[in-house]
Amino acid sequence: MSNSQRRGLLASVALVIPLVVAATPAASATEKPEIKVSGGLTQPVFSYQDAIREHVRVQSPADSDGDGKKDLIRVDIIRPKESESGLKVPVIMQETPYYDDPGVGFEVEKKKYDANGNVTKFPMYYDNYFVPRGYAFVSVDMIGTRLSEGCPTSYGTSDVLSGKAVIDWLNGRASAYDDKGDPVKATWTTGRTGMIGHSYEGGLAIGVAGTGVPGLETIVPLAGYTSGYETSRNNGTLTWFKGGQEWLAKRVDLDPDEKCAAVHQRLREGSDDATGNYNAYWHERNYRNGPISKARNVRASVFSVMGMQDRQVVGSQFSEWWAMLPRTVQRKAWVTQYGHLDPFWARREVWLTTLNKWFDHELMGVANDIMRQPHVDVQLGPGRWVTQPDWPARTRTTILRPQQDGLLGRKPSSGTGSYLDTAQTEIAMAADPATTNPNRLAFLTPPLKNAIRVSGTPSVSLRLKLDKPTANLGVLLVDYGTDTRINYRERGAASAEGLKFSGGEDCVGQSTADDDGCYLKAGDNTATSGYNVVTRGILDAQNHKSLSRSTPLTPGKPYQITWKMFPQDYEFKAGHRLGLVLTGANDDFNLDASGTGGGDDVEPGTGAKVTIELAGTSISLPLVNGTSIK
């Protein structure tokens, strides 16, 4: 949705319906300030209007702009006034590069300041909702953005260290200064901090947690990346436009380009758009097992939300990191059929209650039932949610093989098929599977006798020959059968990522004249269709042995190439058919600056002829109940 479209949508909203009843009056000045808990939840007994607003500059260990001085990080704070008179409060922290451009959240909000430089409007609802409940909200301008010094590095080391420095300051291990340069200590906090945020913000929370920093008790990453490589590449293919790393750093930093010219050059050269290979640049931005942040070092609890139809932060960003977390890490997840989404916009009442319980348990020590509830919520369709102990669900692997008659079944077959590596949209690839198409091969199971569910990461193995040194290899898993599903593809003035704005607002928490805490209401955007692309896999054939090295194939020589598809949790209904579509470059993953596919043709297809040997080709599916497939 463009900014102008959003402004138009906001202007059309006239109806305001409160979701949360106005807060109870603030605690009396004569009473000892204390946090109130009822029903396992903290209650809004503190005044948001009277809250203390202040700002400091925390010293980072990084000198990202190379000016010979450690960068100072701008930190804006709002906390209950009672924290000035003995009440120690925990912290909910959002670190983001987006306070300048494009803004935060679907309503692209930005900060507003008073004459003293303190924030009068914080983007999003965290301050409105949680400060009255006894939390401080700490809003951090990521290094090189808004009022912080330095240069952003597109997920690099200094981006992570700026957030870690703030956690250290909140726990008395780092220095901060006021506008006069005098030291400031965070005497008002317990030091117990939870980081939350969407997209880049969620990635920063994951990156900081992977440093193992003490005091960070929990993180809530929403569509948060864990591998910079997989935001712009996948298995050697470029999925984001060329120059995207430099573009991103410039977009979130409104300073003159010359200030960070040397950094931009390093981003441009290090990202290596020419090959799409994994290298030291991308390893630095690996929060699973990179040099700065590692999943095995995470000590904070994790509440993660992932949309399995996300094009910008693909599902493997969640699944690979989730599997690498130490077993001792307490965790919870929502796995959805949405795209690049913050659940505040999708399932608001359930989300707020769940998040409230989570932070209360992890930061306040409230004895509620959040950890006794099932740890994972899975969305199987519009309004259809199931719960389970972990993710993925318990499954057994079922191997399906393409047949010469166009069927997909368990028995091996013989023969060959071929197609050309040409960039196509997924709609073009999957449509009319019975129709001959020179740019794809399609195979379908018979109609299912019973519903089956995929939960986890499928993989595909192709026995193939090329007539050129490489090709873009694509594969789709498709649900053929008419149904009403989440419409994750539509992007318009009032819809995006599987949501549709419905008019009116919800008001969550307390408000002031500058910050009303009210947000557009939205619900599932659905569409009835005859088929749905469930998940996909893409690979540059040159990288089938190594992501770090391109090895051209010998034309005419047979190769067995196996790789993982994107993870998914999806139910195929009885009567539907599973489809396996083999194809070339996936135009839906030629993402432009807006995150929309098909914009720049970064992978236009090689034109290679791909010949498949059916006997050596298969797809492996993690099925919860796959016995009905023959």
How many beta carbons lie within 10 A of that of residue 139, not counting itself?
Answer: 25
Q: Check residue 132 and report its DSSP letter.
A: G
Residues in the chain: 630
- Is 340 one of the annotated active-site residues of the chain? yes
Instruction: Enter the tokens of residue 570.
Output: 């999806």
Residue showing tokens 């998914």: 568
Consecutive H or E run containing 251: helix 244-251
How far apart are the two ends of the chain, measured CA to CA in Å? 44
Residue showing tokens 């008019």: 503
- Is 199 one of the annotated active-site residues of the chain? yes
Catalytic: which of 310, 421, 515, 587? Answer: 310
Beta strands, E only, 261-347: 301-307, 331-336
Which residues, other chains included, contact 186 with Cβ-Cβ below 8 Å and sequence gap of 6+?
Answer: 169, 170, 172, 176
**Helices 261-270/244-251 angle, 10° precision:** 150
**Helices 157-170/200-209 angle, 10° precision:** 70
Which residues, other chains included, contact 623 with Cβ-Cβ below 8 Å and sequence gap of 6+?
Answer: 395, 396, 397, 398, 452, 453, 454, 455, 629
The 3 state secondary structure assigned to 532-574 is EEEEEEEEEHHHCCCCCCCCCCCCCCCEEEEEECCCEEEEECC
Of 184, 164, 188, whose CA–CA distance to 175 is shortest? 184
Return d(Cα 133, Cα 366) in angstroms, integer.
12
Residue showing tokens 């010979």: 68
Q: Check residue 309 and report its DSSP letter.
A: T
Which residues, other chains included, contact 7 with Cβ-Cβ below 8 Å and sequence gap of 6+?
Answer: none
Helix%, strand%, coil% for the chain, nearest 5:
20, 35, 45
360, 89 contact by CB (below 8 A): no
How many beta carbons lie within 10 A of that of residue 17, not counting itself?
Answer: 11
Of 593, 610, 611, whose CA–CA distance to 602 is shortest? 593
Which residues, other chains included, contact 440 with Cβ-Cβ below 8 Å and sequence gap of 6+?
Answer: 419, 424, 429, 581, 582, 583, 584
Residues β-bridged to residue 190: none
Instruction: Enter the tokens of residue 364.
Output: 């306040």
Which residues, other chains included, contact 568 with Cβ-Cβ below 8 Å and sequence gap of 6+?
Answer: 308, 315, 454, 455, 456, 457, 458, 477, 534, 535
- Is 67 one of the annotated active-site residues of the chain? no
Of 129, 56, 111, whose CA–CA distance to 511 is shortest? 129
Catalytic: which of 264, 340, 361, 544? Answer: 340
Return d(Cα 36, Cα 58) in angstroms, integer.
31
**Would you call 85 exposed, middle or buried from its count of C-beta atoms within 10 A (0-12, 13-18, 19+)?**
exposed
Catalytic: which of 83, 154, 162, 199? Answer: 199
299, 204 contact by CB (below 8 A): no
Q: Which residues are catalytic?
A: 199, 310, 340
